[in-house]
Amino acid sequence: MLVSLAGFVVGALLGGRLGITMAGVARRRWLLSVAVMEAGLCFVAVWGAIGYDMDTLTPVPTLYMLIVLTAAAMGLRNATVRRLAVLDLTTTVLTLTLTASVADSTLAGGNNPWLGRRLAAVLAIFAGSAVGAVLVSLGGLTPPLMVTGACILCVTLAYSAHPASKTLPGDTHR
């Protein structure tokens, strides 16, 4: 647990520094930089996962390398998402999105203005989890890590074509 927390903190530190360093540039450049680093961490993990034995969790140094690389990628992502400050689109706090959906629902007396986006985020998280589970069961750690790295790059490239990617990182989008 301490190893994963340390890797996460290093990634969050890197993401925070990068966010400050790139505060004056368009989101496109900033997010492409982050995507290349995050995907790079996943691709290095792919290299490490080749031949890794999930049944015996050996070799142990490889296990720790995989933990640190993926935790650092998640820390980098969290720091980036935090700096983006897009309401209700947190990548790692599924419960916050579900809470917002229920607390703002008509049953609670609200009008749930962003219900579609919230539900889409929840469904995307569940779909990603299902795909990841299938890939792990079919081929071990290498396929899901490869798909993750590729998806990070593809989604960021698709976003970079959107007009919002030309804004500065401090601008908020609801």
pLDDT digits (tens, 9 = 90+) for 77-103: 888 888 877 665 555 566 777 777 888
174 against 32, higher pLDDT: 32
The DSSP H or E segment spanning 80 is helix 60-84
Closest residue by Cα to residue 79 from 163, 18, 162: 18
Tokens of residue 154, six digits: 């593809």
What are 53's strand-pairing partners? 58
| pLDDT computed for residue 153 by the predictor | 94
Please give the backbone phi and psi of residue 105, each rounded to the nearest 5 degrees, phi first: -70, 165
| pLDDT computed for residue 141 by the predictor | 93
| pLDDT computed for residue 86 by the predictor | 64
Q: Is the dihedral of CA 87, 155, 147, 120 positive or negative?
A: positive
Give yes or no for residue 116 having a pLDDT over 70.
yes
* pTM of the shown model: 0.79
What are 58's strand-pairing partners? 53
Give yes or no for residue 167 having a pLDDT over 90.
no
